[in-house]
Structure 1
Amino acid sequence: MQKKMEGFAGQLTSILPQAKIKFCAQHIFCKNLYITDIGYYPNAAHHERERPKGCAQYILIYCVKGRGWFSIENKSYEVKPNEFFIIPAGAAHHYGAHEKDPWSIYWLHFAGNDADFYYRLLTKTQGKAPVSAVVSTSRQLIFYDIIQHLELMNNTDNIIYSCSCAHAYLSSFQNTQIKLSANENSIIQQCITFMKQNLDKPLRLDEISAEVGLSSSHLSSLFKKQVKSSPIHLFTSLKIQKACQMLMDNSHNIKTISYSLGYEDQYHFSRVFKKIMGISPKHFKNK
């Protein structure tokens, strides 16, 4: 069976474009700790990833079900439920799901001035071996809060908020308890759900507005106030996030991806992708 880096049923991912990563690296608050990639892979059968030259960010992988493994510095470790490990930036590594009992994992890539501090804090008792994590409802809430805000990354306030949550999320592995509020806007959430269900279509503003029972002008005003972008711009961003997931799965080519996301012209899709992510789909697929 072919190994997979991406493409698991029910997965969640959010990947920051290069311009947003640059924003985080330069922002007075975000530069201390920021997330570049984050996701959840449930029942990730045949999941495997190898980076012989390492990764530019630290990688945390938290197993909540099933089993997996990872190798670093010529040593291999088994990973069991409620264990996590962190791969330091620049370290060659290889990891994957157990063949018969594949893991379900929460993962994130993080960087910044405080990244090494958190790496040393959370691994000081075990070194590079997996570390036990107490099950925490608040940790899950923080994760989904980060994902929700990064879906609205065109509003830089949401990126700054996700950076503050990154501190809380990493600290939760030291059993820190954080009380969270939902901060949900039901209309915007309805729009996002509708958009995600129709990524294969070229939705118009009037179609999105009709779904939530508002006029196009009212919905646009609401998005401008709360999201700092238009509904169509957010819809396009969600399409490109989905494209990122598909590009990391070698079973899809760029032409197929563009058609599956409602773009009849793959060259138009490539221009839109580069405008948002800062690199072409081809370069993203090969990075």
Structure 2
Amino acid sequence: MERPKLSSKSDAVVQKLADYLEEHWENKLDPEQIVSEFKLNYRYMSTLFTTKMGISLFNYHERLRIHKSAELLRTTTFNVSEVSDRLHFTNPYYFSRVFRKVMGESPTEYIRNIYRT
């Protein structure tokens, strides 16, 4: 995902947060782990991230995970349930809902469209 160029101290925190989320894309968003890693108040980091990036920490992480899942669907033989499990979604139906919200089509439609082109 593209990120705006950032340059102040708070920008550095946001950059590190984005990098952290990209390194941990397979995992659910864990505020306690983020607090432990950054030693800053989660609400502060979340507000700062939203202000600087124009998207909430949760939504950024969700979109990142879905884009990575689309890559998995494109480049592996994993089915929707396997990708959902790999990304620690509670169930494939919830994963499909989130996928549709982010990508504009269900994972099944996405796979079908890959094979059409």
78, 90, 99: which one aligns with 1:273: 99
* Structure 1 residue 258: Cα displacement: 0.7
For structure 1, the residue ranges without an aligned partner over 5 or more in a row are 1-13, 15-147, 150-157, 159-181
Cα offsets for 1:38-60 (capped at 9, x unmatched):
xxxxxxxxxxxxxxxxxxxxxxx
Mapped contact 1:204–1:232 kept (Cα < 8 A) = no
- Aligned pair count? 110
Cα offsets for 1:73-129 (capped at 9, x unmatched):
xxxxxxxxxxxxxxxxxxxxxxxxxxxxxxxxxxxxxxxxxxxxxxxxxxxxxxxxx
Cα offsets for 1:137-187 (capped at 9, x unmatched):
xxxxxxxxxxx32xxxxxxxx5xxxxxxxxxxxxxxxxxxxxxxx635321
Alignment of 1:207-286 (within 5 A): 207-286=33-112
* Structure 1 residue 205: Cα displacement: 2.4
Cα offsets for 1:188-213 (capped at 9, x unmatched):
22112222222222222232233222
Residue of structure 2 equivalent to 1:205: 31
* Structure 1 residue 250: Cα displacement: 4.2
Task: Please identify runs of 4+ aligned residues in structure 1 that moved more than 4 A.
Answer: none
Structure (1 or 2) with the greater strand fraction: 1
Residue of structure 2 equivalent to 1:183: 6
TM-score (norm 1): 0.36
Between the aligned partners of 1:232 and 1:209, the Cα distance in structure 2 is 14
For structure 2, the residue ranges without an aligned partner over 5 or more in a row are none
Between the aligned partners of 2:12 and 2:35, the Cα distance in structure 1 is 14
TM-score (norm 2): 0.81
Structure (1 or 2) with the greater helix fraction: 2
